[in-house]
Structure 1
Amino acid sequence: AQRRERGLPALTYGLTGGDWQAADVRPDGRGGMAFTVRQGGAEVARASLRLPGVHNVQNALAVIAVAVQLGVPPEEAAAALAGFSGVGRRFEVRGEAGGVTVIDDYAHHPTAIRATLAAARTRYGKRPLWAVWQPHTYSRTKALLDEFALSFGDADHVIITDIYRSRDRQTFGVGPGDVLDRMPAHPDARHIGPLDAVVEYLAAHVQPGDIVIVMSAGDATRVGDELLERLGGSR
Protein backbone atom coordinates (compact mmCIF):
# COMPACT_ATOMS: atom_id res chain seq x y z
CA ALA A 1 0.00 0.00 0.00
CA GLN A 2 2.81 2.41 0.84
CA ARG A 3 4.53 1.71 -2.47
CA ARG A 4 1.36 2.46 -4.39
CA GLU A 5 0.80 5.64 -2.42
CA ARG A 6 4.27 6.74 -3.51
CA GLY A 7 3.54 5.86 -7.13
CA LEU A 8 5.76 2.77 -7.15
CA PRO A 9 4.72 -0.51 -8.80
CA ALA A 10 3.39 -3.19 -6.48
CA LEU A 11 1.47 -6.44 -6.76
CA THR A 12 -0.70 -7.97 -4.06
CA TYR A 13 -1.68 -11.60 -3.66
CA GLY A 14 -3.60 -13.77 -1.26
CA LEU A 15 -6.39 -16.23 -0.66
CA THR A 16 -9.24 -13.75 -0.41
CA GLY A 17 -8.14 -10.71 -2.36
CA GLY A 18 -5.35 -8.94 -4.17
CA ASP A 19 -4.23 -8.62 -7.76
CA TRP A 20 -3.53 -12.34 -7.68
CA GLN A 21 -5.72 -14.79 -5.84
CA ALA A 22 -5.59 -18.51 -5.08
CA ALA A 23 -9.17 -19.78 -5.19
CA ASP A 24 -10.72 -23.20 -4.62
CA VAL A 25 -7.75 -24.24 -2.48
CA ARG A 26 -7.98 -27.92 -1.53
CA PRO A 27 -5.91 -31.04 -0.88
CA ASP A 28 -5.36 -32.92 -4.13
CA GLY A 29 -5.76 -36.39 -2.61
CA ARG A 30 -2.11 -37.26 -3.30
CA GLY A 31 -0.49 -35.40 -0.43
CA GLY A 32 -0.27 -32.04 -2.18
CA MET A 33 -2.50 -29.06 -2.87
CA ALA A 34 -4.58 -27.86 -5.82
CA PHE A 35 -5.94 -24.39 -6.52
CA THR A 36 -7.19 -22.02 -9.20
CA VAL A 37 -5.05 -19.02 -10.10
CA ARG A 38 -6.95 -15.78 -10.63
CA GLN A 39 -5.55 -12.50 -11.91
CA GLY A 40 -7.77 -9.47 -11.54
CA GLY A 41 -10.67 -11.79 -10.75
CA ALA A 42 -10.29 -13.87 -13.93
CA GLU A 43 -9.10 -17.47 -13.96
CA VAL A 44 -5.74 -17.71 -15.73
CA ALA A 45 -4.43 -21.13 -14.67
CA ARG A 46 -4.96 -24.17 -12.50
CA ALA A 47 -2.14 -25.27 -10.29
CA SER A 48 -1.14 -28.33 -8.30
CA LEU A 49 1.69 -28.74 -5.82
CA ARG A 50 3.43 -31.78 -4.42
CA LEU A 51 3.72 -29.98 -1.09
CA PRO A 52 0.96 -29.75 1.52
CA GLY A 53 -0.21 -26.66 3.34
CA VAL A 54 -1.93 -23.38 2.62
CA HIS A 55 1.33 -21.53 3.21
CA ASN A 56 2.85 -23.35 0.23
CA VAL A 57 -0.13 -22.31 -1.89
CA GLN A 58 0.57 -18.69 -0.97
CA ASN A 59 4.25 -19.09 -1.78
CA ALA A 60 3.42 -20.67 -5.14
CA LEU A 61 0.99 -17.88 -5.98
CA ALA A 62 3.71 -15.30 -5.35
CA VAL A 63 6.07 -17.22 -7.65
CA ILE A 64 3.48 -17.31 -10.43
CA ALA A 65 2.82 -13.58 -10.09
CA VAL A 66 6.53 -12.77 -10.34
CA ALA A 67 7.01 -15.16 -13.26
CA VAL A 68 4.21 -13.47 -15.20
CA GLN A 69 5.85 -10.09 -14.58
CA LEU A 70 8.97 -11.56 -16.19
CA GLY A 71 7.06 -12.68 -19.26
CA VAL A 72 6.19 -16.28 -18.42
CA PRO A 73 2.59 -17.25 -19.26
CA PRO A 74 0.70 -18.12 -16.06
CA GLU A 75 -0.19 -21.64 -17.19
CA GLU A 76 3.50 -22.37 -17.88
CA ALA A 77 4.52 -21.04 -14.48
CA ALA A 78 1.88 -23.20 -12.82
CA ALA A 79 2.98 -26.27 -14.78
CA ALA A 80 6.59 -25.76 -13.70
CA LEU A 81 5.58 -25.61 -10.05
CA ALA A 82 3.80 -28.95 -10.38
CA GLY A 83 7.20 -30.63 -10.61
CA PHE A 84 8.72 -28.87 -7.60
CA SER A 85 9.20 -31.28 -4.70
CA GLY A 86 10.54 -28.83 -2.15
CA VAL A 87 13.91 -28.09 -0.58
CA GLY A 88 15.88 -29.66 2.20
CA ARG A 89 14.67 -29.14 5.76
CA ARG A 90 11.29 -27.81 4.68
CA PHE A 91 8.77 -30.58 5.31
CA GLU A 92 11.42 -33.01 4.14
CA VAL A 93 10.30 -36.62 4.44
CA ARG A 94 13.40 -38.39 5.70
CA GLY A 95 12.00 -41.88 5.46
CA GLU A 96 9.65 -44.50 6.83
CA ALA A 97 10.32 -47.45 9.11
CA GLY A 98 7.93 -49.76 10.87
CA GLY A 99 5.02 -47.82 9.43
CA VAL A 100 6.30 -44.59 11.03
CA THR A 101 6.93 -41.60 8.75
CA VAL A 102 9.66 -39.17 9.81
CA ILE A 103 9.76 -35.56 8.60
CA ASP A 104 12.44 -32.92 9.16
CA ASP A 105 11.63 -29.20 9.17
CA TYR A 106 13.52 -26.01 9.94
CA ALA A 107 10.55 -24.45 11.77
CA HIS A 108 11.64 -22.61 14.91
CA HIS A 109 9.21 -19.66 15.01
CA PRO A 110 5.57 -19.97 16.15
CA THR A 111 4.19 -19.06 12.72
CA ALA A 112 6.35 -21.68 10.99
CA ILE A 113 5.52 -24.33 13.58
CA ARG A 114 1.79 -23.78 13.14
CA ALA A 115 2.08 -23.85 9.34
CA THR A 116 4.17 -27.03 9.36
CA LEU A 117 1.82 -28.90 11.67
CA ALA A 118 -1.25 -27.68 9.76
CA ALA A 119 0.34 -28.93 6.54
CA ALA A 120 0.96 -32.31 8.14
CA ARG A 121 -2.63 -32.50 9.30
CA THR A 122 -3.79 -31.66 5.77
CA ARG A 123 -1.63 -34.36 4.19
CA TYR A 124 -2.01 -37.13 6.76
CA GLY A 125 -5.50 -36.56 8.09
CA LYS A 126 -6.19 -38.18 11.45
CA ARG A 127 -2.96 -40.15 11.69
CA PRO A 128 -1.28 -39.58 15.09
CA LEU A 129 1.14 -36.67 14.84
CA TRP A 130 4.24 -36.25 17.00
CA ALA A 131 5.85 -32.81 17.15
CA VAL A 132 9.45 -32.77 18.36
CA TRP A 133 10.57 -29.17 18.82
CA GLN A 134 13.97 -27.84 19.80
CA PRO A 135 13.57 -24.23 20.98
CA HIS A 136 16.15 -22.01 19.29
CA THR A 137 17.84 -19.53 21.64
CA TYR A 138 16.74 -18.54 25.11
CA SER A 139 16.04 -14.97 24.01
CA ARG A 140 13.55 -16.00 21.32
CA THR A 141 11.88 -18.52 23.62
CA LYS A 142 11.39 -15.88 26.32
CA ALA A 143 10.10 -13.26 23.87
CA LEU A 144 7.55 -15.61 22.27
CA LEU A 145 6.55 -17.89 25.15
CA ASP A 146 2.80 -17.44 24.74
CA GLU A 147 2.93 -17.76 20.95
CA PHE A 148 4.97 -20.95 21.13
CA ALA A 149 2.52 -22.46 23.61
CA LEU A 150 -0.32 -21.90 21.15
CA SER A 151 1.50 -23.42 18.17
CA PHE A 152 0.94 -27.13 18.78
CA GLY A 153 -2.82 -27.54 18.45
CA ASP A 154 -2.51 -29.91 15.47
CA ALA A 155 -0.08 -32.24 17.26
CA ASP A 156 -1.30 -35.24 19.26
CA HIS A 157 2.03 -35.57 21.08
CA VAL A 158 4.57 -32.83 21.78
CA ILE A 159 8.17 -33.28 22.90
CA ILE A 160 10.16 -30.17 23.75
CA THR A 161 13.91 -30.67 23.99
CA ASP A 162 16.44 -28.55 25.82
CA ILE A 163 16.87 -25.09 24.34
CA TYR A 164 19.55 -24.72 21.67
CA ARG A 165 21.74 -21.90 22.92
CA SER A 166 23.20 -20.73 19.60
CA ARG A 167 24.37 -17.12 20.03
CA ASP A 168 22.93 -16.61 23.53
CA ARG A 169 25.37 -16.21 26.42
CA GLN A 170 22.69 -16.23 29.10
CA THR A 171 19.46 -18.13 29.74
CA PHE A 172 17.23 -15.11 30.47
CA GLY A 173 15.65 -17.18 33.22
CA VAL A 174 13.63 -19.28 30.79
CA GLY A 175 13.45 -23.00 30.05
CA PRO A 176 11.28 -25.56 28.22
CA GLY A 177 9.09 -25.88 31.29
CA ASP A 178 7.92 -22.31 30.85
CA VAL A 179 6.38 -23.25 27.51
CA LEU A 180 4.76 -26.36 28.97
CA ASP A 181 3.31 -24.32 31.83
CA ARG A 182 1.41 -22.30 29.23
CA MET A 183 -0.15 -25.31 27.52
CA PRO A 184 -1.80 -27.26 30.37
CA ALA A 185 -4.74 -28.33 28.21
CA HIS A 186 -2.61 -30.29 25.75
CA PRO A 187 -3.23 -34.03 26.27
CA ASP A 188 0.40 -35.11 25.84
CA ALA A 189 3.18 -32.54 26.01
CA ARG A 190 6.46 -33.17 27.80
CA HIS A 191 10.06 -32.01 28.14
CA ILE A 192 12.80 -34.48 27.28
CA GLY A 193 16.14 -32.72 27.37
CA PRO A 194 18.95 -34.79 25.83
CA LEU A 195 18.47 -35.66 22.18
CA ASP A 196 19.54 -39.27 22.73
CA ALA A 197 16.74 -39.57 25.28
CA VAL A 198 14.27 -38.15 22.76
CA VAL A 199 15.22 -40.86 20.27
CA GLU A 200 14.88 -43.54 22.95
CA TYR A 201 11.45 -42.29 24.01
CA LEU A 202 10.14 -42.11 20.47
CA ALA A 203 11.47 -45.56 19.59
CA ALA A 204 9.62 -46.98 22.59
CA HIS A 205 6.31 -45.20 22.01
CA VAL A 206 5.62 -44.62 18.30
CA GLN A 207 3.23 -46.96 16.54
CA PRO A 208 2.69 -47.92 12.89
CA GLY A 209 0.83 -45.10 11.17
CA ASP A 210 2.37 -42.38 13.33
CA ILE A 211 3.93 -39.24 11.85
CA VAL A 212 6.98 -37.73 13.56
CA ILE A 213 7.98 -34.17 12.68
CA VAL A 214 11.27 -32.89 14.06
CA MET A 215 11.41 -29.08 14.05
CA SER A 216 14.77 -27.49 14.74
CA ALA A 217 17.23 -24.88 13.56
CA GLY A 218 19.91 -26.54 15.68
CA ASP A 219 21.34 -30.01 16.15
CA ALA A 220 18.04 -31.82 16.84
CA THR A 221 17.75 -32.45 13.13
CA ARG A 222 19.64 -35.71 13.80
CA VAL A 223 16.76 -37.09 15.85
CA GLY A 224 14.74 -38.13 12.81
CA ASP A 225 17.50 -40.10 11.11
CA GLU A 226 18.53 -41.77 14.36
CA LEU A 227 14.92 -42.77 15.01
CA LEU A 228 14.70 -44.33 11.56
CA GLU A 229 17.84 -46.33 12.29
CA ARG A 230 16.41 -47.51 15.60
CA LEU A 231 13.21 -48.60 13.88
CA GLY A 232 15.17 -50.54 11.29
CA GLY A 233 14.46 -48.32 8.32
CA SER A 234 16.58 -46.60 5.74
CA ARG A 235 16.54 -43.18 4.16
Structure 2
Amino acid sequence: TIPGNGLIVANGRDENIEHVFERGLWTPVERFGSVGGWTAGEPDAKGHFDVFFNSALQGRVEWEIIGEHNRMNALAAIAAARHAGVPAATAIDGLSRFENVKRRMEIRGAVHGITVYDDFAHHPTAITTTVEGLRAKVGKARILAVLEPRSNTMKLGVMKAALPASLAAADQVYCFGANLGWDAAIALAPLGDKARVFDTLDALVTQLVADARPGDHVLMMSNGGFGGIHAKLLEALHQHYHEDIVLTAMHRYGGYA
Protein backbone atom coordinates (compact mmCIF):
# COMPACT_ATOMS: atom_id res chain seq x y z
CA THR A 1 0.00 0.00 0.00
CA ILE A 2 1.31 3.43 -0.95
CA PRO A 3 0.84 5.98 1.86
CA GLY A 4 -0.89 9.29 1.36
CA ASN A 5 2.43 11.13 1.56
CA GLY A 6 3.94 8.92 -1.14
CA LEU A 7 3.74 9.30 -4.91
CA ILE A 8 2.38 7.12 -7.67
CA VAL A 9 4.37 7.49 -10.88
CA ALA A 10 2.03 6.20 -13.58
CA ASN A 11 2.19 5.62 -17.31
CA GLY A 12 -0.21 8.22 -18.64
CA ARG A 13 -0.82 6.17 -21.78
CA ASP A 14 -2.11 3.09 -19.97
CA GLU A 15 -5.91 3.05 -19.85
CA ASN A 16 -5.89 0.03 -17.54
CA ILE A 17 -4.09 2.04 -14.86
CA GLU A 18 -6.69 4.78 -15.15
CA HIS A 19 -9.45 2.22 -14.62
CA VAL A 20 -7.71 1.06 -11.43
CA PHE A 21 -7.47 4.66 -10.21
CA GLU A 22 -11.22 5.07 -10.71
CA ARG A 23 -11.77 2.50 -7.96
CA GLY A 24 -10.21 4.80 -5.38
CA LEU A 25 -7.10 6.92 -5.10
CA TRP A 26 -5.70 8.61 -1.99
CA THR A 27 -2.11 9.22 -3.08
CA PRO A 28 -0.74 11.97 -5.35
CA VAL A 29 -0.07 10.90 -8.94
CA GLU A 30 2.46 12.10 -11.49
CA ARG A 31 2.07 10.74 -14.99
CA PHE A 32 4.70 10.27 -17.65
CA GLY A 33 4.29 9.95 -21.38
CA SER A 34 1.19 12.16 -21.58
CA VAL A 35 0.32 15.85 -21.58
CA GLY A 36 0.08 17.24 -18.07
CA GLY A 37 3.03 15.35 -16.66
CA TRP A 38 6.51 14.20 -17.66
CA THR A 39 7.12 14.02 -21.40
CA ALA A 40 10.06 13.41 -23.70
CA GLY A 41 10.92 15.37 -26.81
CA GLU A 42 11.80 13.68 -30.07
CA PRO A 43 15.24 12.04 -29.85
CA ASP A 44 18.05 13.14 -32.13
CA ALA A 45 20.26 10.80 -34.15
CA LYS A 46 22.29 9.94 -31.04
CA GLY A 47 19.27 9.16 -28.86
CA HIS A 48 19.46 12.42 -26.87
CA PHE A 49 16.12 13.95 -25.89
CA ASP A 50 14.63 16.87 -23.95
CA VAL A 51 12.66 16.30 -20.74
CA PHE A 52 9.56 18.36 -19.93
CA PHE A 53 7.37 18.57 -16.84
CA ASN A 54 4.00 20.22 -17.36
CA SER A 55 5.40 21.52 -20.67
CA ALA A 56 8.37 23.24 -18.95
CA LEU A 57 11.83 22.16 -20.11
CA GLN A 58 13.78 20.43 -17.32
CA GLY A 59 16.93 19.45 -19.20
CA ARG A 60 18.30 17.11 -21.84
CA VAL A 61 19.22 13.44 -21.41
CA GLU A 62 22.37 12.80 -23.44
CA TRP A 63 22.78 9.04 -23.51
CA GLU A 64 23.32 6.47 -26.26
CA ILE A 65 20.24 4.33 -25.55
CA ILE A 66 17.46 3.96 -28.09
CA GLY A 67 13.79 3.10 -27.90
CA GLU A 68 10.59 4.78 -26.76
CA HIS A 69 10.34 2.35 -23.84
CA ASN A 70 13.73 3.49 -22.54
CA ARG A 71 12.69 7.13 -22.73
CA MET A 72 9.52 6.32 -20.77
CA ASN A 73 11.60 4.48 -18.16
CA ALA A 74 13.83 7.54 -17.89
CA LEU A 75 10.86 9.83 -17.29
CA ALA A 76 9.54 7.53 -14.56
CA ALA A 77 12.96 7.43 -12.88
CA ILE A 78 13.27 11.23 -12.97
CA ALA A 79 9.80 11.64 -11.45
CA ALA A 80 10.51 9.16 -8.66
CA ALA A 81 13.91 10.71 -7.92
CA ARG A 82 12.39 14.18 -7.76
CA HIS A 83 9.86 13.03 -5.18
CA ALA A 84 12.73 11.58 -3.13
CA GLY A 85 14.44 14.97 -3.12
CA VAL A 86 16.71 14.73 -6.14
CA PRO A 87 16.35 17.76 -8.44
CA ALA A 88 15.27 16.90 -11.97
CA ALA A 89 18.46 18.43 -13.37
CA THR A 90 20.57 16.14 -11.18
CA ALA A 91 18.59 13.06 -12.19
CA ILE A 92 18.92 14.01 -15.86
CA ASP A 93 22.67 14.42 -15.47
CA GLY A 94 22.87 10.99 -13.85
CA LEU A 95 20.95 9.37 -16.70
CA SER A 96 23.25 11.06 -19.20
CA ARG A 97 26.15 9.14 -17.65
CA PHE A 98 24.27 5.83 -17.56
CA GLU A 99 25.76 3.03 -19.66
CA ASN A 100 23.33 0.52 -21.10
CA VAL A 101 23.21 -2.98 -19.63
CA LYS A 102 24.41 -6.03 -21.52
CA ARG A 103 22.04 -7.82 -23.89
CA ARG A 104 19.87 -4.75 -24.42
CA MET A 105 20.72 -3.68 -27.95
CA GLU A 106 24.33 -4.56 -27.13
CA ILE A 107 26.60 -4.20 -30.14
CA ARG A 108 28.84 -7.25 -30.27
CA GLY A 109 30.97 -6.01 -33.13
CA ALA A 110 31.10 -4.86 -36.73
CA VAL A 111 32.84 -6.09 -39.86
CA HIS A 112 32.86 -4.33 -43.25
CA GLY A 113 30.20 -1.90 -42.06
CA ILE A 114 27.88 -4.71 -40.93
CA THR A 115 26.93 -4.26 -37.27
CA VAL A 116 25.87 -7.22 -35.10
CA TYR A 117 23.63 -6.70 -32.06
CA ASP A 118 22.53 -8.91 -29.18
CA ASP A 119 19.20 -8.35 -27.44
CA PHE A 120 17.26 -10.29 -24.80
CA ALA A 121 13.91 -9.79 -26.58
CA HIS A 122 12.12 -13.15 -26.51
CA HIS A 123 8.38 -12.51 -26.82
CA PRO A 124 6.35 -10.50 -29.38
CA THR A 125 5.92 -7.36 -27.29
CA ALA A 126 9.64 -7.10 -26.52
CA ILE A 127 10.53 -7.98 -30.12
CA THR A 128 8.29 -5.19 -31.41
CA THR A 129 9.85 -2.67 -29.05
CA THR A 130 13.39 -3.75 -29.93
CA VAL A 131 12.96 -3.82 -33.70
CA GLU A 132 11.04 -0.55 -33.82
CA GLY A 133 13.58 1.07 -31.49
CA LEU A 134 16.41 0.09 -33.80
CA ARG A 135 14.41 1.27 -36.81
CA ALA A 136 13.95 4.68 -35.21
CA LYS A 137 17.72 4.87 -34.71
CA VAL A 138 18.99 3.64 -38.08
CA GLY A 139 16.31 5.14 -40.31
CA LYS A 140 16.13 3.48 -43.73
CA ALA A 141 19.18 1.26 -43.21
CA ARG A 142 18.43 -2.44 -43.53
CA ILE A 143 17.63 -4.46 -40.41
CA LEU A 144 18.22 -8.21 -40.56
CA ALA A 145 16.30 -9.64 -37.59
CA VAL A 146 17.45 -13.03 -36.33
CA LEU A 147 15.19 -14.80 -33.84
CA GLU A 148 15.53 -17.85 -31.61
CA PRO A 149 12.13 -18.71 -30.06
CA ARG A 150 13.75 -20.23 -26.97
CA SER A 151 11.52 -19.49 -23.96
CA ASN A 152 9.08 -22.20 -22.88
CA THR A 153 6.04 -20.25 -24.03
CA MET A 154 7.64 -19.53 -27.39
CA LYS A 155 8.64 -23.17 -27.87
CA LEU A 156 5.03 -24.17 -27.24
CA GLY A 157 3.85 -21.67 -29.82
CA VAL A 158 1.61 -19.77 -27.40
CA MET A 159 2.43 -16.42 -29.01
CA LYS A 160 3.36 -17.50 -32.53
CA ALA A 161 0.42 -15.67 -34.13
CA ALA A 162 1.82 -12.34 -32.94
CA LEU A 163 5.32 -12.88 -34.36
CA PRO A 164 4.77 -11.57 -37.92
CA ALA A 165 3.49 -8.21 -36.69
CA SER A 166 6.30 -7.94 -34.13
CA LEU A 167 8.90 -8.34 -36.89
CA ALA A 168 7.20 -6.14 -39.47
CA ALA A 169 9.72 -3.28 -39.17
CA ALA A 170 12.64 -5.56 -40.15
CA ASP A 171 13.76 -5.86 -43.77
CA GLN A 172 14.66 -9.54 -43.50
CA VAL A 173 13.77 -12.13 -40.86
CA TYR A 174 15.76 -15.27 -40.04
CA CYS A 175 14.32 -17.76 -37.56
CA PHE A 176 16.13 -20.68 -35.93
CA GLY A 177 13.33 -23.23 -35.99
CA ALA A 178 14.93 -26.29 -34.39
CA ASN A 179 13.25 -27.97 -31.39
CA LEU A 180 9.95 -26.12 -31.69
CA GLY A 181 6.51 -27.59 -31.11
CA TRP A 182 5.15 -25.70 -34.12
CA ASP A 183 6.08 -24.89 -37.71
CA ALA A 184 7.91 -21.56 -37.76
CA ALA A 185 7.65 -21.32 -41.54
CA ILE A 186 3.85 -21.44 -41.37
CA ALA A 187 3.74 -18.95 -38.48
CA LEU A 188 5.95 -16.46 -40.34
CA ALA A 189 4.23 -16.96 -43.71
CA PRO A 190 2.43 -13.58 -43.47
CA LEU A 191 5.86 -11.94 -43.86
CA GLY A 192 6.24 -13.48 -47.31
CA ASP A 193 9.64 -13.86 -48.93
CA LYS A 194 11.41 -11.71 -46.36
CA ALA A 195 11.20 -14.47 -43.70
CA ARG A 196 13.23 -17.68 -43.73
CA VAL A 197 13.55 -20.53 -41.25
CA PHE A 198 16.68 -22.59 -40.57
CA ASP A 199 17.20 -25.88 -38.76
CA THR A 200 20.93 -25.40 -38.15
CA LEU A 201 22.96 -22.42 -36.98
CA ASP A 202 25.63 -23.06 -39.60
CA ALA A 203 23.10 -22.70 -42.41
CA LEU A 204 21.70 -19.56 -40.80
CA VAL A 205 25.15 -17.96 -40.47
CA THR A 206 26.04 -18.88 -44.05
CA GLN A 207 22.88 -17.19 -45.32
CA LEU A 208 23.51 -14.08 -43.23
CA VAL A 209 27.02 -13.72 -44.65
CA ALA A 210 25.60 -14.04 -48.17
CA ASP A 211 22.81 -11.51 -47.55
CA ALA A 212 24.43 -8.85 -45.37
CA ARG A 213 25.99 -5.80 -46.97
CA PRO A 214 27.74 -2.67 -45.69
CA GLY A 215 25.41 -0.48 -43.64
CA ASP A 216 23.22 -3.39 -42.51
CA HIS A 217 22.24 -3.99 -38.88
CA VAL A 218 21.98 -7.64 -37.84
CA LEU A 219 19.79 -7.92 -34.74
CA MET A 220 20.04 -11.20 -32.79
CA MET A 221 17.16 -11.83 -30.37
CA SER A 222 17.06 -14.66 -27.82
CA ASN A 223 16.82 -15.14 -24.06
CA GLY A 224 19.64 -17.67 -24.25
CA GLY A 225 23.13 -17.89 -25.69
CA PHE A 226 21.78 -18.67 -29.18
CA GLY A 227 24.57 -21.21 -29.69
CA GLY A 228 27.20 -18.48 -29.79
CA ILE A 229 25.83 -17.24 -33.11
CA HIS A 230 27.09 -13.69 -32.56
CA ALA A 231 30.73 -14.76 -32.46
CA LYS A 232 30.18 -17.27 -35.27
CA LEU A 233 28.73 -14.60 -37.55
CA LEU A 234 31.44 -12.06 -36.76
CA GLU A 235 34.14 -14.64 -37.41
CA ALA A 236 32.45 -15.70 -40.66
CA LEU A 237 32.26 -12.07 -41.80
CA HIS A 238 35.91 -11.62 -40.83
CA GLN A 239 36.90 -14.62 -42.95
CA HIS A 240 34.71 -13.51 -45.85
CA TYR A 241 35.89 -9.89 -46.05
CA HIS A 242 39.38 -10.34 -44.57
CA GLU A 243 38.72 -7.39 -42.28
CA ASP A 244 39.15 -7.13 -38.51
CA ILE A 245 36.20 -7.22 -36.13
CA VAL A 246 35.60 -3.75 -34.70
CA LEU A 247 34.79 -3.93 -30.99
CA THR A 248 34.98 -0.92 -28.68
CA ALA A 249 33.53 0.17 -25.35
CA MET A 250 30.92 2.13 -27.28
CA HIS A 251 29.87 -1.05 -29.06
CA ARG A 252 29.37 -2.84 -25.78
CA TYR A 253 27.03 -0.25 -24.37
CA GLY A 254 24.75 0.74 -27.20
CA GLY A 255 26.82 3.05 -29.39
CA TYR A 256 26.73 2.69 -33.14
CA ALA A 257 29.38 1.88 -35.68
State the TM-score, normalizing by the size of structure 2. 0.78
Deviations 1:91-133 (A, max 9, x none): 0011111111011000011111111111211221211110001
Distance of 1:3 and 1:202 partners within structure 2: 49
Change (3 A) 1:203 1:12: same
Q: Are 1:20 and 2:35 matched, yes or no? A: no
Aligned counterpart for 1:29 among listed residues 12, 27, 45: 45
CA RMSD across the alignment: 2.2
Q: CA deviation at 1:164?
A: 6.2
Q: Are the aligned partners of 1:134 and 1:164 in contact in 2 as well (CA < 8 Å)?
A: no
5+ residue gaps, structure 1: 166-170
- Of 139-148 and 206-215, the range deviating more from structure 2: 139-148
Q: CA deviation at 1:34?
A: 1.2
State the TM-score, normalizing by the size of structure 1. 0.84
Give the percent of matched residue pairs that are identical in Structure 1 and Structure 2.
Answer: 33
Query: Pairwise mapping of residues 127-206 of structure 1 onto structure 2 (< 5 A)?
Result: 127-137=141-151, 139-140=153-154, 142-162=157-177, 171=181, 174-184=182-192, 187-206=193-212
In the alignment of these two chains, the number of paired residues is: 221
Aligned counterpart for 1:112 among listed residues 126, 137, 144: 126
Aligned counterpart for 1:63 among listed residues 77, 80, 102: 77
Distance of 2:179 and 2:61 partners within structure 1: 39
Distance of 1:19 and 1:118 partners within structure 2: 25
Partner of 2:232: 226
Distance of 1:20 and 1:126 partners within structure 2: 30
Q: Are the aligned partners of 1:163 and 1:175 in contact in 2 as well (CA < 8 Å)?
A: no
Q: Which amino acid aligns with 1:178?
A: I
Q: CA deviation at 1:154?
A: 1.4
Q: Are the aligned partners of 2:78 and 2:88 in contact in 1 as well (CA < 8 Å)?
A: yes
Secondary structure of the corresponding residue to residue 136 of structure 2: helix
Distance of 1:43 and 1:33 partners within structure 2: 14
Q: Which amino acid aligns with 1:145?
A: K
